[in-house]
Structure 1
Amino acid sequence: MFSRYIAVHASRILICLLLAILTGAVSLIFPGQAKSQEPAFNVLLITIDTLRYDRVGILDPRHVKTPNLDALAKRSLVFNRAFSHNPVTLPAHINIMTGTTPLFHGVSDNTGFKLDKSFLTLPQYLKRFGYRTAAFIGAFPLDSRFGLDRGFDLYDDFYGTRNEREFFFVERPAEKVIAPAMAWIGKQTQKWFGWIHLFDPHQPYLPPSPFKEKYAADPYSGEVAYVDAQLGVLFDFLRKKQLLEKTMVILTADHGEALGEKGEDTHSYFAYNNTIHVPLFIQIPGRKPEAFARNVCHADIFPTVCSVLGLRIPSGLHGESLLEILAGGKRKSREIYFESMTAYLNRDWAPLRGLISGNTKFIDLPIREVYDLESDMDEVHNLAASSKIGPLKDTLNRLMRKLKNPLAAGRQDRLDPETQKRLKSLGYISENRSGQRKKQYTEQDDLKTMLPLQSKLLDGVAQFQSADFPGAEKTIQEVISASPSFILAYTHLASMYKEMGKITAAVQILEQGLEKNPDNILLLAKLGIVLADSGSWQRAIPILEICIGKENFDPEKFNFLGIAYYQGGDFAKALQNYARALDLDHNNASVYNNIGGVHLALFLRSRQEQELVQAERNFKKALEIDPKLFSACNGLGILYRKTGRNNEAIASWRNALAIKPDFDLALINLGITLLEECRAAEALDCFLNYREKFYHKIPLSEKQRVDRLIAEARAKLGRVEK
């Protein structure tokens, strides 16, 4: 009976109240302490990244078995018509945590945004009522640098530093997220709020065994099945600890995945239901399970938590308590706002905004779309031609005015004319141009029209990942020729050139992008980072100084500015910028590693003991955060060898090579140290391996040095054998 009751595309829709509206400047900023009853439950929020509605077995049994998600649904309130406001990870989670929409908090994409400190978040609010709070994050898009860490006693975003696969986010598997979450929950002696973010269903789809084999033809579903299995571990833990009956459990997805439908491979481009219609289960201890087909949204989660716990709902939230909606019977229709702004922000293509009201979904693009969700949840039949577009457009404009916060800061991805003049004086652009976007978008700018170019970029990335670099280069150059404002095409091609060791070409393509888009800070920052990473510190420093002057919340810009100053010998400014980077992201292993490098250089210059202590401390801190950071292993190896601790140096370099077998510095350093320790056979293996892998790319002087080391190792080995 229950599974039939929550079937997809249910038609019984009760209309909800209009979204709560903003009644002045940021009224949501820390409302006063409210009198309320003692909170009754713990709260566990689980967000599964990129989980489609139809990949939960109990909602649609055709694709994948999810017994643990199904079991949760059977003891929960299930909302069959739940919608995300954004098909993108960071803004979707900010919507959940603030109970507002992007029009209010100002965050519309993953890159170039940070949640402002003025906005109240759910963990901040619950802390006022004695809750302990912790978050366990699966991947980079929710790194603490983006502002969602505020209000958490613990923000565990130790997902790693380096991704072996270019163009994909650094992530950790569900089991590595859930294990520390269970450890933290198990230690709590008072009420707690925990957030677990699981990233596995996000591209690339690489499920582990046995799901890899079982879902070989559908690896995306294999990732979902793996996540479900790990949730079983979590739920078993909560059951054994007798916490399920004391904990409100909320499970949802930030967005879905298109999987090729409507021409979109993944997400963040369109806003069809395959990417914004999401599962939403809420388990409330003592409340019987039930399913509902009313329109609800992510902004409703914050006020619902407050309602269940008996807390006053802060003023200014855009969502409504789902308990109040369910108790309200037939009410006036509410409108749910949604948007997809990535293509607008990064390509200057038409912005996508829309609304859902009752059974009507309106997508406001130059080529408009209207769908009847009661009969066409898959959005096959566009009814725009027979719909009254004027009233729909008016309703959307009214809704946007009500939701908009005039103080919300958008992304500063455009440079002002004065900054452009500075860049012109540095030789990076030849003319000044307006930083304004188009004032009007036509059908030529519609995302449906531009879809072939979007797909072509992804084809180029796929070619690169299959080792067809010439094909990838040709494909992406064609994208740039067709759409010179396609910023991601320039940055992707630059990354490919850099990966291939073609630094000059990487710099040139970014400079070409700046010629066409002289006001774009993303291109400028990428150029500065490439220059710093390749040792061109004289050119990198002024560029990165401009970037941090315009966007001062990105730790990577400060990190690479520190690298540039280090290369130039200004260790004080290097440490100053590394400190700024750590202020923004205190779990950044790369920055700790770079600080260790500065102190090691200072020790080698001054031989002061405190510099040695600082170097070792920072290298070890980097490895504590990211045990796979091979460069920190190399730093420790150098430190140990310079202080006569050769056995520890050898162990460190072996660790580095276990992580990265083709790490040239660790390999040659290991060989030299083994030779010093009279372990000539092992040293010779290192030198021969180094010559085989790197001889073709090193200068003549280095080749001669390697040849001498090989001869020396063979000579020592010969003497030992005699």
Structure 2
Amino acid sequence: MPWRSNLLLLALFAAFASLLYPAQEKIRQQDFNVLLITIDTLRFDRVGILDSRHVKTPNLDALAKKSLIFSRAFAHNPVTLPSHANILTGTTPLYHGISDNTGFKLDRKFLTIPKYLQRQGYRTAAFIGAFPLDSRFGLDQGFDLYDDYYGTHNDLELFFVERPAEKVIAPAMVWIGKHSQKWFAWIHLFDPHQPYLPPSPYKEKYAADLYSGEVAYVDAQLGVLFDFLQKKRLLEKTVIILTADHGEALGEKGEETHSYFAYNNTIHVPLFVLIPGRKPETFVKNVCHADIFPTVCSALGLKSPPGLQGESLLDILAAGDRKNPEIYFESLTAYLNRDWAPLRGMISGNSKFIDLPIKEVYDLKSDFSEMNNLAGSSKIGQLKDSLNRLIKRLKSRLAPGRENRIDPEVQKRLKSLGYISESRPEQRKKQYNEQDDLKTLLPLQNKMLSGVALFHTGDLSGAEKMIREVIAASPSFILAYKHLSSMYRETGKTVLAIAILEQGLEKNPGDIRLLSKLGIVLADSGKWQRAVSILELCIRQEDFDPDNFNFLGIAYYQGGDFAKALQNYGRALELDRNNASVYNNIGSVHLQIFLRGRDRQAFALAEMNFKKALEIDPKMFAACNGLGAAYKKVGRNAEAIAYWRQALAIKPDYDLPLVNLGITLLEEGRADEALDCFLNYREKFSHKIPVAERARVDRLIVEARAKLEPTG
């Protein structure tokens, strides 16, 4: 394979390293800074120095040439949240219990790299690129600063909210520049994750391979970061560890993206470790994400804390051929969200075993691309026994686990609401066969993804047909119900959005993910009493999702109970302090209190919370509208007009500000601008507004035109 020849070149490079790297002034290990960089969804073969066929990555290459390169590094999961939990805790999902992006939160009882380094006198900060690592999921523990300011607005529904690499790296450089004492910083860059939308000039240069365009863009931004570190003379005293949380299949083995299978295209990852004063080398040894925490300790001359499941990479290298650890991996998203067969496996030396109903065994020395399944000629029983021993060794009673068990009181109330039957079926099958194998069910997985893609082209009808076919074939496919509900909700078909979730609950009684989604849609559509009943139950079952508290607050607000609304918004902020939507909703409560009693303190609180929402998310158009309404009520018309215009600039089809903006412009003697607002409103929204509202707008149009007519 091409990457192998590149590794030979790297080995030759390492042989001359002593000539290229003169001795530097000795800096104590204990004074080193640590920079952890994780690039989401980065394939091993998309780093130029490892495989030059696809994309040029000069900045990643420059880092690699100064680093220890581990050419056989593996992720334990092909999913963002569990993979980062593995890295930060130095343990596997069998220990910390996180196996997917949804329904999990890292428990506070687990030790993480930043927690441990804080005890050693380090300042700590994280700079996060996207929602899967939001503070609500528990990875923020141990950080003095957890910067997840990526906003709440996403132009593409059904994809994670994210921010580009430059918006992550910029605040990281500011923070690093302010700290002279030793620090640990984690930078997470999400760009290579689907959807592939690189900015210019990368989208033009890589028009035929937009994924590689995203990688090229990230590489350029890392160049900015590395130049900054060089100018600040920090490279000589900073340990840099760069890896990916997982790769991307890009259609190989039939998988379009990741999180389904666990072939090497999604779990084989780049791993570079730069230690000041250490010569660069390339190693072909099996290593894993759990090894990063103990490696940080070794690089700093610290003793590793007890309980870590990985080993220091430096210790593995020092052991020579005597050390080639067994590596556990899993892919449980389909199991947890569809009740399809769980995928678990292990890598031992050159042997890779994938434990599914249809077993798979590969010789990684001769077949790293996993094209020739040797299961038919392998001793499967022995491999299964070895995997079970590894699982038993790694498993912890500390792991919270997740089998969607329902609290007895919640179960009782769900029965009264009709969302669970008296004889609730088992949530999981006791045994899986070849019909449950991920390879067998791959066409359904891809059909669901094709449905999502159709929706983003504007073809709701085609998307609906595809996803309904998926649901008919696999009624336990929870994500299909949620995606179809989101499509209906996004296109204004609220009744259908509710109906498909209720259908899902008929097939999957009491499923907390469907219940939560149903409660949110009900609150969003004004059906506040049902929303309150359902969301209260969801919170009792899972109390770590700020969205449930936020929408419960919305439901209470709709019912006029402002005290309970504020109470639930407060709980949401405890879980996610950077949630712009919650600040906007708090502003709306205080605005209503002000309008009812002219309480100046309520006005100040409304203004403060609306502005906080915009500080976090400048695209929060609802906060602009709220500020416009607040300023109008106190006679500050110029500011009201400015904020309403800002709201419409963000969302041109936003109906709420248009009429109020027109009325205010009319009061200010700007009848021509007011007329434009009224006509625009009537053209866009007359089909969905009540008759009385249409009549009012028509009268305003007549009034505006009258003021424009010349007088006698």
TM-score interval, smaller chain? over 0.9
Residue 320 (structure 1) aligned with residue 311 (structure 2): yes
C-alpha distance in structure 1 between counterparts of 2:402 and 2:422, whole Å: 24
Residues 657, 8 of structure 1: alpha-carbon distance in 2 compared, 3 angstrom cutoff: farther
Identity %: 77
Q: Deviations over 1:336-388 (max 9, x none)?
A: 00000000000000000000000000000000100000111100000000001
Residue 155 of structure 2 corresponds to residue 141 of structure 1: no
Offset of residue 411 of structure 1: 2.9
For the residues of structure 1 that align with 2:29 and 2:212, how far apart are their CA atoms? 42
User: Is 2:455 the counterpart of 1:464?
Assistant: yes
Q: Secondary structure at the match of 1:6?
A: helix
- Tell me the residue number matched to 2:529: 538
How far residue 278 of structure 1 moved from its aligned partner, in angstroms, is 0.1
Q: CA deviation at 1:430?
A: 5.3
Among 446, 457, 470, which residue is 1:455 paired with? 446
Match among 46, 49, 53 for residue 58 of structure 1? 49
> Are the structure 2 counterparts of residues 9 and 553 from structure 1 closer, same or farther at C-alpha, using a change threshold of 3 Å?
farther
SS state of the match for residue 319, structure 1? coil
Structure 2 contact 10–281 (Cα < 8 Å) conserved: no
Matches of 1:589 and 1:460, distance apart in 2: 30
- Distance of 1:85 and 1:626 partners within structure 2: 34
Residues 136 and 197 in structure 1, CA contact (< 8 A), matched pair in contact too: yes
1:693-704 matches, cutoff 5 A = 693-704=684-695
* 1:18 counterpart residue number: none
When the two structures are aligned, how many residues end up with a matched partner? Answer: 694
- CA gap 1:287/1:360 in 2 versus in 1, 3 angstroms: same
Distance in 1 (CA, whole Å) between partners of 2:403 and 2:368 is 36
Residue 185 of structure 2: aligned partner: 194
Alignment partners' CA distance in 2, 1:412 and 1:363: 22
Deviation at 1:435, TM superposition (A): 4.0
* Aligned ranges 1:121-520 → 2 under 5 Å: 121-411=112-402, 413-416=404-407, 419-429=410-420, 431-520=422-511
1:612 aligns with 2:603: yes
Tell me the amino acid that sits aligned with residue 69 of structure 2: V
Q: CA–CA distance in 1 between the matches of 2:561 and 2:426? A: 34
Alignment partners' CA distance in 2, 1:355 and 1:343: 19
Q: How far, CA to CA, are the matches of 2:116 and 2:58 in structure 1?
A: 34
Question: Structure 1 stretches of 5 or more lacking a match?
Answer: 11-36
Equivalent-residue separation in structure 1 for 2:379 and 2:419 (angstroms) = 49
Normalised by the length of structure 2, the TM-score is 0.96
- Give the match's secondary structure for 2:283: strand
Paired residues for 1:82-121 under 5 Å: 82-121=73-112
Offset of 1:431 from its aligned partner?
4.8
Q: 1:211 to 1:7 in 2, by over 3 A?
A: farther
Supply the distance in 2 between the matched residues of 1:705 and 1:435 (Cα, whole angstroms).
57
Q: Deviations over 1:176-226 (max 9, x none)?
A: 111111111111110011111000000000101100000000000000000
Give the structure-1-normalised TM-score. Answer: 0.94
Contact 2:126 2:187 in 1 (8 A): yes
Deviation at 1:434, TM superposition (A): 2.6
Q: In structure 2, do the counterparts of structure 1 residues 712 and 179 end up closer, same or farther at CA, with 3 Å as the change threshold?
A: same
| Counterpart-to-counterpart distance in 2, 1:82 and 1:8 | 19
Distance in 2 separating the partners of 1:3 and 1:138: 32
CA distance in 2: counterparts of 1:282 and 1:507, whole angstroms: 50
4+ long deviations beyond 4 Å:
2-5, 7-10
Corresponding position: 1:6 with 2:7: yes
Partner of 2:677: 686
Aligned equivalents of 2:284 and 2:419: distance in 1?
56
Cα distance in 2 for residues equivalent to 1:589 and 1:705? 33
What one-letter code is carried by the residue in structure 2 that aligns with 1:408? A
Deviation of 1:417 (Å): 6.0
Contact 1:87 1:271 in 2 (8 A): yes
- Deviation string 1:682-701 (CA, Å, 9 cap, x unpaired) is 11111111111111222212
1:653 paired with 2:644, answer yes
1-structure distance, mates of 2:132, 2:407:
28
State the distance in 2 between where 1:269 and 1:141 align.
Answer: 17
Taking the aligned partners of 2:317 and 2:68, their CA distance within structure 1 comes to 10
| Contact kept in structure 2, 1:435 and 1:519, CA below 8 Å | no
2:126 aligned counterpart, secondary structure: strand
What SS does structure 1 have at the residue aligned with 2:100?
A: coil
Deviation at 1:429, TM superposition (A): 4.5
Instruction: Confirm or deny: 8 A CA contact 1:7 1:60 kept in the other structure.
Output: no
Q: CA deviation at 1:8?
A: 10
Residue 572 of structure 1 is aligned with which of 545, 563, 571?
Answer: 563
Counterpart CA distance in 2 for 1:333 and 1:211 is 40
Give the deviation of 1:533 after TM superposition. 0.5
Asked whether the equivalents of residues 403 and 427 of structure 2 are also in contact (C-alpha less than 8 Å), the reply is no
1:374-415 deviation line (CA, Å, top 9, x unaligned): 111100000000001111111110111111111211236343
Give CA deviations for 1:299-352 in whole Å, capped at 9, x if unaligned: 000000000101110111010001111111121542100000000000000000
CA contact (8 A) 1:257 1:274 kept: yes
Q: Check 1:586–1:412 CA distance in 2 against 1; reply closer, same or farther (3 A cut).
A: farther
Task: Measure, in 2, the Cα distance between the counterparts of 1:71 and 1:360.
Answer: 32
1:49 and 2:43 correspond: no
Give the letter aligned to residue 693 of structure 1.
K
1:9 and 1:519 map into 2 onto residues whose CA distance is: 55
| Superposition deviation, residue 284 in structure 1 | 0.6
Partners in 2 of 1:315 and 1:429 — Cα distance? Answer: 44
The answer for the alignment partner of 1:17 in structure 2 is: none
Per the alignment, residue 696 of structure 2 pairs with 705
Paired residues of 1:42 and 1:191 also in contact (CA < 8 A)? yes
Alpha-carbon distance between aligned partners in 1 of 2:338 and 2:709, rounded to the nearest angstrom: 64
SS in 2 for 1:80: strand
The alpha carbon displacement at 1:664 in A equals 0.8
Greater alpha carbon shift after TM alignment, 683-692 vs 405-414: 405-414
Per-residue deviation, 1:502? 1.0
Answer yes or no: is 1:644 the counterpart of 2:635.
Answer: yes
Q: 2:214 is aligned with what amino acid?
A: E
Q: Which runs of 5+ in 2 are unaligned?
A: 12-27
Please report how far the alpha carbon of residue 608 of structure 1 lies from its aligned counterpart in structure 2 after TM superposition: 1.2
Query: Quick check: 2:80–2:245 contact (8 Å CA) kept in 1?
Result: yes
Amino acid at match of 2:52: P
Q: Which of residues 628, 639, 644 is equivalent to 2:619?
A: 628
2:668 to 677, 691, 697: 677
Residues 1:561 and 2:552 aligned together: yes
Give the Cα separation in 2 of the matches to 1:103 and 1:8. Answer: 38
SS in 1 for 2:399: coil
The 3 A distance-change label for structure 1 pair 435 and 675 is farther
User: 1:19 maps to which residue?
Assistant: none
Is the 8 Å Cα contact of residues 638 and 649 (structure 1) preserved in structure 2?
yes
Distance 1:418 1:437 in 2: 21
Q: Provide the residue aligned with 1:592 in structure 2.
A: 583
Work out the CA distance in 2 between the residues paired with 1:432 and 1:557: 27
- Paired letter, 2:535: L
Letter in 2 for 1:415: I
Taking CA–CA contacts closer than 8 Å with sequence separation of 6 or more, which of the two structures ends up with the larger relative contact order?
1
| Distance change in 2, residues 1:8/1:707 (3 Å) | farther
TM superposition shift of 1:419: 3.1
**8 Å contact 1:201–1:224 — kept in the other structure?**
yes
Query: 1:28 maps to which residue?
Result: none
SS in 1 for 2:536: helix
C-alpha deviation, 1:605, in angstroms: 1.3
Change (3 A) 1:127 1:527: same
Which AA in structure 2 matches 1:176?
A: K
Alignment match, 1:30:
none
